[in-house]
Amino acid sequence: MKIALLQYPVLWADRDENLRLTCERIRAIAGQAQLALLPEMFTTGFCTDQPELAETTNGETVSTLQKLADEFRIAIAGSFICKDDATGKLYNRGFFIKPFETPDFIDKKHLYAHGGEDRFFTAGNNRSVIEYLGVKFRLLICYDLRFPVWARQEKDNLYDILLVCANWPQVRIKYWDALIAARATENQCYICATNIIGEDNQQLHYNGHSIAYDSYLNPIAQFEDDEEGTKIADFDIERLHHFRSVLPLWKDADDIVIK
């Protein structure tokens, strides 16, 4: 399974231009990867107080990415500001768009109150595992990374690759580095995490550190400080399953119930 990590600046609140640039970047890797992982709120940046930027799941962002997925036979994951069709509530909505299939959506569970996210957005409660090309994925959105129970492998619902999309600033980047490694270790999974670079409208700097680890915590794709570009991580799923069979630590995990 080849996954492209896209680490770029996000233009603040410029939905149309961010979407256009993202489409160009995905077209540039056509045929090189089976999945492209975008950052959190890739069309807007972490704009938590501009509800007018929200779209429905039938809006331009999802429909454009679906056409791109179909055209280039590539799945696309990330998150955007979504206004739910049924309730009218706002969500930081994660998506996993597959070629010629109905998209999967998973809303961010843990809303970042310090950034005002809880004032406008509604928390999600979906821990679904998404299967694509025989590989099982879980998707976390930024702040969700801090909560190990939310990412925990279920004994009867194992995933292979944990995806993380984020807007994680440089001032807290050491936590990002540590938490990504921890989530991969405790869940005996591969992990692929994408962050942004550049400045936002809140005077925060983002220096990236997007990375992919295998189950032995070997980096198989990683970015330096403030590095702009796309890198492809090649995950060997059979090797992961062998590792789990030889050292089945996940079987000793505590049963959990999330209320």
Catalytic residue list: 40, 108, 142
Contact by Cβ (8 Å): 111, 70 = no
Spatial CA neighbour of 234 closest among 99, 33, 29, 27: 33
d(CA 245, CA 251): 10
Take residue 132 and report the two structure tokens written for it: 């694509």
The Cα-based distances of 226 to 51, 78, 212 in angstroms read 29, 20, 17
C-beta neighbour count of 85 within 10 angstroms: 10
Which amino acid, residue 163? L
- Residue 234 to residues 35, 66, 82, 218, Cα–Cα distance (Å): 11, 23, 31, 12
- Note whether 113 and 72 are within 8 A (CB): no
Retrieve residue 68's tokens.
């791109």
